[in-house]
Structure 1
Amino acid sequence: MNEALSGDRLGLLQTFVRIVEAGSLSAAASQLGTTQPTVSRRLRALEHSLGQQLAQRSTHAWRLTEAGRQCYERAKLLLEDWSAMQAQLRGAQDEPEGLLRVMVPHALGQLQLMGPLLALLRCAPALSVEWLLNDQAPNFSSHDLDCAIRVGAVTDPSVVALQLGQVPRILVAAPELLADRTPPSHPAALADWPWLALGSYYRHELQLHDPEGRTCKLALRPRLITDSLFALRHAAVEGLGVCAMSAWMAQPHLADGSLQCLLPGWQAESLPVHLLYPYQRYQTAKLRHFISAMRDSLSGLSGLGRDEAQASGPDAMLPT
């Protein structure tokens, strides 16, 4: 039996995945630190083991067969599961290492989460993070993500959603907007005021509630609708209108007086913050350490304690 046939099948699968992702036998050989004939022998050994031709090869072309495409998808899952199982069995205290790809909302990712991220990187010198700022719902397959942080409802039943906290939303406006107006005593009085809207969460309607359970639904005609929390805050500070804003985002401007809180007893519905990752049997050390760092940080947004954070499995549909 030759070298390739005597190799373990897991190693053959690893070589096959590397070939597919590198795009050629020669590129895979270079990445693996071996020769192209060796890589070719390993590919033939895997095909012999499976009884299927995985690739069609010629002098100038190389492409997967249908069996090869199926093998690649299954092999990736198998190898990821194997790596995750190794990490799990080594224990939760393993040092995180390797690259972690994370998608986070712009505002949270630039302001609230940079501190804990940098602290994690200082404590884990073998860990690297690709920090992708994006306010859209994550697509784990197309973006090749390890995890994502998402503000708002989660409707994807294929992911694990770990609730990290709640973001209270308060009504704010600049002092100059209030200068020539009677201070409102009830939300209904704000119906004719100029409004700003964060289109991801409210546009032409906003429902408010108070601690006693009373509600008030306002019909809005916003002067500005934006999908950026930064743009919303800037417009509010400039006096363009009233808006419902995340309390943590408004806090520095409430402190320096550039924004004022309207009707402190009334708030818009709080927004949940989730950490999402694709369902898997085992968590890698890098994902476990990242989850712990983010949970400790984001629980402070609303006072939600670490022990109160709730995880929902792949079948969970979180409330809108």
Structure 2
Amino acid sequence: MNKLHAMNTFVQICESGSLTKAAEALDTSLPTVVRTLASLEEHLNTRLFNRTTRKITLTEEGHLYLSRCRRILFDIEDAELELNSQQSKPSGKLTITAPVNFGNQQVSPLVNQFLKQHDQIKIDLLLGDKNINLVEESIDVAIRIGPLADSSMVAKNVGHVRRVICASPRFLNNYPYVKTPKDLLKLPCIRFSPLSHGGNWNFYQGDKVLSIKVDGPLYCTEISAMRQAVLDDIGVGIFLSYQVQAQLDAGTLVPILTDYEPEPLPVSVVYSHAKLMSSRVRVFVDWMTLNLKEQMDKTKQR
């Protein structure tokens, strides 16, 4: 068994979410992926996935092995990059963009770590919630939340964020009957432009999409104002999970309608393949992809 090949196959299964999609990404057959995974588990004498007819999920041992495999594969790729680039250290300036809240919470601390390890690189970190054109604005790398619409971009997935509907415990004491999305028609809802579709909130019941027209006393264009309104018992709000994680952990906000949550949104490290990738961009993309993915995996397991 080729261990590196098996590790790479295992990581691709994790990132693709299924054996079939992993086979497509690796440009190989499904039986080959199945055999490689079986050989790896037999070699390790450990089950890496729990399998059902509908999905596969990592075991606890699988989570530990995934982190090690990613690190090993990253170190190998990094070593090859250093040899091929014929330069000891990448240098120059990078321009990076990310959403405001996610950038402050997740991206900025990692950028600081990166700069400590690469003292010949300078970074302009632009935090903003508008998706700007990377090529036109001379942006090297973007951290994006949501599906990628521009086919000229390359996206490396690092995880997903939930869309959470929540309210304060005091508010819910007055509205104990909230059981289905249709119950929101009777409630005041705080609307926030990026997460509403023409004033509608979308929910899922199996394969069926339920679109609910919400209304309420407040419309916000800034997430902190919306969060405070929900904390102040003004109404129900819909958030990306990281935007209210502290409040959910503290119990000052409570999730509702979790069985009907919209599909999670992908988080990606994005760059343009229209431009020749410099060594500093390559090093940053690989480093950020690995470390942001590990950071989000830890957050997901809390």
Question: If the TM-score is normalised by the length of the shorter chain, which range does it land in?
Answer: 0.5 to 0.7
Distance 1:221 1:297 in 2: 40
Identify the residue that residue 130 of structure 2 maps to in structure 1. 136
Give secondary structure in 2 for the equivalent of 1:140.
coil
Distance 1:290 1:194 in 2: 44
Letter in 1 for 2:131: A
Distance 2:216 2:278 in 1: 45
State which of 132, 139, 158 in structure 1 corresponds to 2:152.
Answer: 158
Residues 138 and 148, structure 1, Cα contact 8 Å, conserved in 2: no
State which of 164, 169, 174 in structure 2 corresponds to 1:175.
Answer: 169
By percentage of residues, which structure has more helix?
2
Give secondary structure in 1 for the equivalent of 2:270.
strand
Identify the residue that residue 209 of structure 1 maps to in structure 2. 204
Distance 1:150 1:201 in 2: 15
Distance 2:275 2:193 in 1: 36
Structure 1 residues 164 and 127, CA, compared in 2 at 3 Å: closer, same or farther? Answer: same
Give secondary structure in 2 for the equivalent of 1:157.
coil
The Cα shift of 1:300 comes to 5.2
Identify the residue that residue 233 of structure 2 maps to in structure 1. 239
The Cα shift of 1:143 comes to 2.2
Distance 2:145 2:293 in 1: 13
Give secondary structure in 1 for the equivalent of 2:263.
strand
Identify the residue that residue 253 of structure 2 maps to in structure 1. 259
The Cα shift of 1:195 comes to 0.8
2:290 corresponds to 1:296: yes
Distance 2:126 2:236 in 1: 30
Distance 2:225 2:242 in 1: 15
Distance 2:294 2:91 in 1: 27
The Cα shift of 1:120 comes to 0.8
Structure 1 residues 222 and 271, CA, compared in 2 at 3 Å: closer, same or farther? Answer: farther
RMSD across aligned C-alpha pairs, in angstroms? Answer: 2.7
Q: Which runs of 5+ in 1 are unaligned?
A: 1-85, 305-320
Letter in 2 for 1:241: G
State which of 92, 99, 103 in structure 2 corresponds to 1:105.
Answer: 99
Distance 2:131 2:151 in 1: 13
Residues 113 and 297, structure 1, Cα contact 8 Å, conserved in 2: no
Residues 109 and 133, structure 1, Cα contact 8 Å, conserved in 2: yes
Residues 195 and 238, structure 2, Cα contact 8 Å, conserved in 1: no
Structure 1 residues 171 and 130, CA, compared in 2 at 3 Å: closer, same or farther? Answer: same
Distance 1:96 1:229 in 2: 37
Give secondary structure in 2 for the equivalent of 1:258.
coil
The Cα shift of 1:280 comes to 4.3
How many residues align? The count is 217
Identify the residue that residue 90 of structure 1 maps to in structure 2. 85
The Cα shift of 1:284 comes to 2.1
- TM-score w.r.t. length of structure 1: 0.61
The Cα shift of 1:302 comes to 6.3
Identify the residue that residue 5 of structure 2 maps to in structure 1. none
The Cα shift of 1:87 comes to 7.9
Distance 1:301 1:215 in 2: 31
Larger radius of gyration: 1
The Cα shift of 1:155 comes to 2.0
Residues 135 and 272, structure 2, Cα contact 8 Å, conserved in 1: no
* Cα displacement string for residues 37-69 of structure 1 (whole angstroms, at most 9, x for unaligned residues): xxxxxxxxxxxxxxxxxxxxxxxxxxxxxxxxx
Sequence identity of aligned pairs in percent?
Answer: 23
Identify the residue that residue 181 of structure 2 maps to in structure 1. 187
Identify the residue that residue 15 of structure 2 maps to in structure 1. none
Letter in 2 for 1:294: M
* Cα displacement string for residues 263-295 of structure 1 (whole angstroms, at most 9, x for unaligned residues): 232212322222222224753222123223332
The Cα shift of 1:160 comes to 2.2
The Cα shift of 1:214 comes to 5.1
Identify the residue that residue 116 of structure 1 maps to in structure 2. 110
Distance 2:212 2:230 in 1: 18
Q: Which runs of 5+ in 2 are unaligned?
A: 1-80
Distance 2:140 2:83 in 1: 16
Q: Which moved more, 1:283-292 or 1:105-114?
A: 283-292
